[in-house]
């Protein structure tokens, strides 16, 4: 892959990758870090190890999903302690984001993982159903039906109260 092809890929996919990672991790800073890691890994695979990646977009999202899962597992095991010992101030914008994130995460966690992944890629990755089908290696009709069934289950779950 030439440098200009890599730059175009980054330009085309960065926003979707960040959106997807942000809603997987719940934090824009962590999302930025994990997307950077994925792009570095991709660059190393293609340019340093001469690995041919036939479906770059699918590779990026699969690798991103795996890194997000790893980060979430690590964060469950490692307690976060601020360096100065003081908690960070919470703004209403932060509270709004965290409340929305918890509600969305809860709803996505209550539906089958296959449906949740399609919804994340569609809304937060800004992918078309054809792109989602390619990324996940499933038929187009399966991607659409998983999205539809998942949204219906989420609509039903929207009426449930949020446990804080």
Confidence of residue 63 (pLDDT cuts 50, 70, 90): very high
CATH 1.10.10.10 boundaries in the chain: 91-164
Q: Which CATH architecture has domain 1-80?
A: Orthogonal Bundle (1.10)
Q: Which residue has the higher pLDDT, 98 or 56?
A: 56
pTM more than 0.95 = no
How far is it, in rounded angstroms, from Cα 58 to Cα 60? 5
Helices (H), 78-139: 92-109, 113-123, 129-136
Instruction: Report the C-alpha dihedral over residues 43, 32, 5, 47, rounded to 10 degrees.
Output: 0
Are 24 and 120 spatial neighbours (Cβ–Cβ below 8 Å)? yes
Give the start-end residues of each E strand in the chain: none
CB neighbourhood size of 60 (10 A): 25
% of the chain with per-residue pLDDT over 70: 83
Tell which CATH classification among 1.10.10.10, 1.20.1250.20, 3.40.640.10, 1.10.287.370 matches the domain 91-164.
1.10.10.10
Cα–Cα distances in Å, from 12 out to 54, 159, 162? Answer: 17, 37, 36
What mean pLDDT, rounded, does the chain reach? 83
- What confidence score (pLDDT) does residue 77 get? 54
Q: Which residue has the higher pLDDT, 131 or 96?
A: 131
CATH 1.10.1740 boundaries in the chain: 1-80
Q: How many residues in the chain? A: 164
Q: Which residue has the higher pLDDT, 164 or 150?
A: 150
């Amino acid at each position: 892959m030439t440098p200009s092809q890599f730059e175009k890929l980054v330009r085309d996919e960065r926003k979707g990758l960040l959106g997807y990672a942000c809603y997987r991790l719940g934090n824009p800073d962590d999302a930025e870090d994990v997307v950077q890691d994925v792009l570095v890994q991709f660059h190393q695979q293609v340019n340093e190890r001469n690995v041919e990646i036939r479906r770059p977009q699918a590779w990026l999202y699969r690798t991103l999903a795996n890194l997000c899962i790893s980060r979430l597992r690590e964060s469950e095991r490692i307690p976060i302690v601020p360096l100065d010992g003081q908690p960070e101030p919470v703004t209403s914008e932060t509270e709004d984001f965290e409340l929305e994130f918890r509600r969305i995460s809860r709803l996505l966690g209550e539906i089958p993982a296959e449906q949740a992944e399609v919804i994340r890629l569609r809304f937060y990755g800004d992918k078309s159903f054809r792109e989602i089908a390619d990324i996940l290696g499933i038929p187009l009709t399966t991607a659409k039906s998983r999205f539809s069934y998942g949204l219906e289950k989420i609509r039903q779950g929207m009426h449930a109260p949020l446990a804080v």
